[in-house]
Amino acid sequence: MAQMVRDQHEIVGADEARALAGGIAAAAGKAAALASHRRAKILADVGDAIERETEAFARLIAEEVKKPVKEARREAARAVFTFRWAAEEAKRFGGELLPLDLDANTEGRFALTRRVPRGPALFITPFNFPLNLVAHKVAPAIAVGLPFVLKPAPQAPRTALKLARLIKEAGWPEEAIAVVSAPVEAAEALVRDDRFAILSFTGSAKVGWHLKSIAGKKHVLLELGGNAGVFVGADADVPWAAARCAWGAYYYSGQVCISVQRILVEKPVYKEFKELFLKNLAELKMGDPLDDKTDIGPLIDGKSADRVEAWIQEAVAGGGKLLAGGKRKGDMLWPALVENAPESCRLSCEEAFGPVATIEEVSSRGRALEKLASGSYGLQAGLFTNDLRWVVEAWNKIPVGGLIVNDIPAFRSDAMPYGGTRDSGTGREGARYAMEEFTELRTLVLKP
């Protein structure tokens, strides 16, 4: 374990950052020259290796970031899919033939397009999904032949290093990958370095938009936070909605950017939904992340627990009613549900990133649309309804990257485009969509 940590580059200053950037930039040609079948084979082999080591990864994730081990196993399984799907995309990612005989001036010509790597990439990832969120950056990079530096969350270096070892063993050039730890000054020196053509960051909105402001001419992807809203209509399958919302609000102690945070329930089913939600909440098990029965463990640190606890207290002091939870013991915070939280409190308009949700009754679907569309974030939202016309109206009016029907906003397929609008970021992940972000079009016009 100690040797694994030593394999990580420790960048302590701007000079070391520049040297690292130069080394990765020098590997660009070698990475891009790998044939697509070689890149696909590397990715498939990494997926197979993660599958073989699922339990080791799960235990490591649980130890590093306190994720319940059963959720960590699910994360490892998702990472297997992410690498295997990227392997498939590597084999079919290409350009197109465009006829240009559209008028007399271009008659007799046609165009070919292809996508080429933009250049070396810098990836900065958070603690909450230390394997699969890393996979969503490095797998598409390998798929298009892109060298990269990965700066994982300081809480989870061993998970990133274990993955990096598997990537190298699968045949990816050793000089085309680096895993680094760095203080703020050195990390910002990497962000500023013009030899990186891409910056892909997942984390808080405050940090993400700051990094974008100093990134220069890089192509920047930001996967930031949210305060995901859910609407439960009178025509919904209420038991299903209540069960899904209870799980989606509190799994991994709510430390998920698309965790259910604001629940809006249509008046005719409000009482039924609330009772079922509280019943499902009471069935969630709190405890040691390494225990297979645990649903909710401690938050990542005491500072996070302090913040979430303060937000709950603020909402209650402002007139909200605490229906459940709120108890605190060390870094463990009992899952809380606040009814009718004030619209101006932080639970209503900022990202909680903790085991807490708000709930309120709405008398009209128009009001529900207004509330779901409000605020500065725009990552994902959920609708429990079978009214297709209203779903289309919501899709037109709610400015989010993903609208999930008859499930929670915490739903994500690793194949789909994923990302937000407004303060939730820019760009999209998901293997093919990230591959498009990491490459640029090049056109050839021919006149035979």
Domain CATH for 242? 3.40.309.10
* pTM score, whole prediction: 0.96
With tokens 């808080």, the residue in question is 204
Residues 211 and 327 in one domain: no
Residues 190 and 322 in one domain: no
DSSP per-residue codes, 226-276: ---EEEE-TTS-HHHHHHHHHHHHHGGGG-STT---EEEEEGGGHHHHHHH
Residue 2 in this model has a pLDDT that exceeds 60 = no
Phi, psi of 282, rounded to the nearest 5 degrees: -65, -20
Q: Nearest Cα to 262, choosing from 369, 377, 365, 347?
A: 347
Phi, psi of 367, rounded to the nearest 5 degrees: -65, -40
Q: Is 195 exposed, middle or buried (0-12, 13-18, 19+ CB in 10 A)?
A: middle
Q: Label residue 5 by pLDDT band (50, 70, 90).
A: very low
Residues whose CB is less than 8 angstroms from the CB of residue 205 and which lie 6 or more positions away in sequence, other chains included: 224, 225, 351, 377, 423, 424, 425
> pLDDT digit string (tens) for 269-308?
999 999 999 999 999 999 999 999 999 999 999 999 999 9
Residues 17 and 152 in one domain: yes
Residues whose CB is less than 8 angstroms from the CB of residue 19 and which lie 6 or more positions away in sequence, other chains included: none
341 touches 324 (CB < 8 A): no
DSSP per-residue codes, 10-23: E--SHHHHHHHHHH
> If you ran DSSP here, which 8-state letter would residue 104 be given?
G
130 touches 148 (CB < 8 A): no
Residues 215 and 244 in one domain: no
State the Cα–Cα distance between residues 230 and 404, nearest whole angstrom.
9
Residues 34 and 159 in one domain: yes
Supply the angle between the helices 54-65 and 36-52 in degrees, to the nearest 10.
70
The whole-number average pLDDT for the span 353-363 is 98
> pLDDT digit string (tens) for 169-206?
999 999 999 999 999 999 999 999 999 999 999 999 99
Domain count, the chain: 2
Domain CATH for 63? 3.40.605.10
State the Cα–Cα distance between residues 437 and 281, nearest whole angstrom.
40
* Positions marked catalytic: 223, 257
Which residues are 141's β-sheet partners? none
State the Cα–Cα distance between residues 392 and 237, nearest whole angstrom.
19
pLDDT computed for residue 6 by the predictor = 46
> pLDDT digit string (tens) for 222-277?
999 999 999 999 999 999 999 999 999 999 999 999 999 999 999 999 999 999 99
Residues 189 and 233 in one domain: no
> pLDDT digit string (tens) for 148-174?
999 999 999 999 999 999 999 999 999
> If you ran DSSP here, which 8-state letter would residue 287 be given?
S
> pLDDT digit string (tens) for 40-85?
999 999 999 999 999 999 999 999 999 999 999 999 999 999 999 9
Residues 49 and 162 in one domain: yes
246 touches 208 (CB < 8 A): no
Residues 21 and 143 in one domain: yes
14 HSE (CA, 13 A, CB side)? 5
Residues 332 and 304 in one domain: yes
Residues whose CB is less than 8 angstroms from the CB of residue 320 and which lie 6 or more positions away in sequence, other chains included: 338, 339, 340, 341, 342, 345, 347, 358
Mean pLDDT of the chain: 96
Residues 316 and 269 in one domain: yes
DSSP per-residue codes, 304-327: HHHHHHHHHHHHHHTT-EEEE---
Give the 3-state secondary structure of residue 110: strand
pLDDT computed for residue 7 by the predictor = 66
Residues 286 and 305 in one domain: yes
Range of the domain at 391: 229-417
Residues 430 and 379 in one domain: no
